[in-house]
Amino acid sequence: MTHQGIPRTLAVLLGAAAAVVTLAGIQAVGSIVGPVVLALTLVIAVSPLRNWLARHHAPTWVQVAAPLAVVLLVLLGMVAILSLAAAQLAILAPTYTTQFNTMVAQVQHWAAGLGYGSEQLNKALASFDAGKLIGLAQGVLSSLLGVLSSLFLIVVLLLAMSLDAPVFARILAAASAERPALAQALMTFTAKTRRYLIVSTVFGLICSVLDVAALYVLAVPLPLLWGVLALITNYIPNIGFILGLIPPALLGLLEGGPKTMLLVIAAYIAINVVIQSFIQPKFLGDAVGLSTTATFLSLIIWAWVLGPLGALLAIPLSLLARALLIDSDPNGVWAAALVSGRLPERGSAPPDQPATPGGPPPGPNGLPSAPDHSAPDRSATSDRSAELDDSAELNRPPAPDQRS
């Protein structure tokens, strides 16, 4: 009986429809899903500390309290710094109105000297307002504070997940016997997420310290704020560097003119691009397991679904989706290759791949393998052995007649 599966076109359409419905549902409950994923990511980040305490036979309450305290100190410190800096920026914004109006007048005079003093240009320059420029920086801060506004929910989730983490680790180890693909996929997700967070945090701190030093030298206001912003935006793939550059560059323009703005841009490019584009990838290696296109698409999709928190957690969310939908499926070898941008390794074909009827057995990745002439043909060898046995039987002398 021939088994007829679902047509590939119908399977693709059903998968796309299910993805749209799922993403729309996640977006509808984003205020819950976002903190849950953030808490899960933070618990995974501090799991090495919990494992170290367990290896040193620390009490159970210490294994739960110490990682939780580290995460809470980091979160509360970031909230305090961002709140203080946002208040200072709100006080500082109105003081730049005079400088901005003077700058607009200088640009109008310079454009008139070049013969471009048209009415449209004057209207365009006059339409700008310092409050609009500062409002961009305030909008970024408001988004970040909005992410941390549900701090109570995050803390409760952190406590619950920290209590369940040791039990979950034992369950996952026990499940590897019956569901090896799913268990391995989840363990790979935690390992890649943890490595990604550790490497990104270390290099983000390096970039932030250097950015703060450069802003101090250039006399840009609120350098500590922009350093914290650079650290946070370091977790946003592809465009995080640009988001962290815009506010200090605008303040540099208002504080010291175009020269200061250009120096801020040059300093950020020299620090962030060199570290994040040339040094950090060498240490990160294959921790992400996502191609450049997949990383950028994940940023767009998760930012649309969960807002600023989705942009911050784009990589962990994509790694979780890959673990549940691709890596846990033994037949998802080529789907994983498309997502990661790497050819599958030899021997990674699904274990239940049937052999090709009338042909050689499937090789790595499910492709038919060429016949191995170096290996002996077992069927031919067995036939030859049978022939030799028959010949020996015919040529054997008759046994002596034993009579009593």
Are 263 and 218 contacting, i.e. CB atoms less than 8 angstroms apart?
Answer: yes
Amino acid letter, 33: V
DSSP string, 71-103: HHHHHHHHHHHHHHHHHHHHHHGGGGHHHHHHH
Please give the DSSP secondary-structure letter assigned to residue 377: -
Sign of CA dihedral 85, 86, 92, 97: positive
Measured distance CA(64)–CA(43) in Å, rounded: 10
- The three-class DSSP label of residue 19 is helix
pLDDT tens-place string over residues 27-82:
898 888 888 888 888 888 888 888 888 888 888 888 888 888 888 888 887 777 77
Are 173 and 187 contacting, i.e. CB atoms less than 8 angstroms apart?
Answer: no
| Structure confidence at residue 213 (pLDDT) | 92
Segments making up each domain of the chain, as ranges: 34-340
Are 193 and 46 contacting, i.e. CB atoms less than 8 angstroms apart?
Answer: no
Q: How far is residue 239 CA from its own chain's centroid? A: 13
The Cα angle at residue 76 between residues 74 and 81, in degrees rounded to 5: 95
Residues of the chain scoring pLDDT < 50: 1-2, 130, 349-395, 401-404
Are 193 and 324 contacting, i.e. CB atoms less than 8 angstroms apart?
Answer: no
| Structure confidence at residue 226 (pLDDT) | 86
The Cα angle at residue 260 between residues 254 and 264, in degrees rounded to 5: 110
DSSP string, 203-264: HHHHHHHHHHHHHHHTT-S-HHHHHHHHHHHTTSTTTHHHHHHHHHHHHHHHHH-HHHHHHH
Residue with the two structure tokens 């979780």 = 320
| Structure confidence at residue 243 (pLDDT) | 81
- The three-class DSSP label of residue 46 is coil
Measured distance CA(340)–CA(277) in Å, rounded: 18
- The three-class DSSP label of residue 350 is coil
| Structure confidence at residue 146 (pLDDT) | 57
CA dihedral 241→244→246→252, nearest 10 degrees, is -120
Sign of CA dihedral 84, 90, 91, 93: positive
Are 194 and 47 contacting, i.e. CB atoms less than 8 angstroms apart?
Answer: yes
Q: Is 158 exposed, middle or buried (0-12, 13-18, 19+ CB in 10 A)?
A: buried
Measured distance CA(352)–CA(75) in Å, rounded: 47
| Structure confidence at residue 351 (pLDDT) | 41
Measured distance CA(300)–CA(239) in Å, rounded: 11
CA dihedral 181→187→315→78, nearest 10 degrees, is 160
Amino acid letter, 249: A
| Structure confidence at residue 15 (pLDDT) | 84
Please give the DSSP secondary-structure letter assigned to residue 307: T
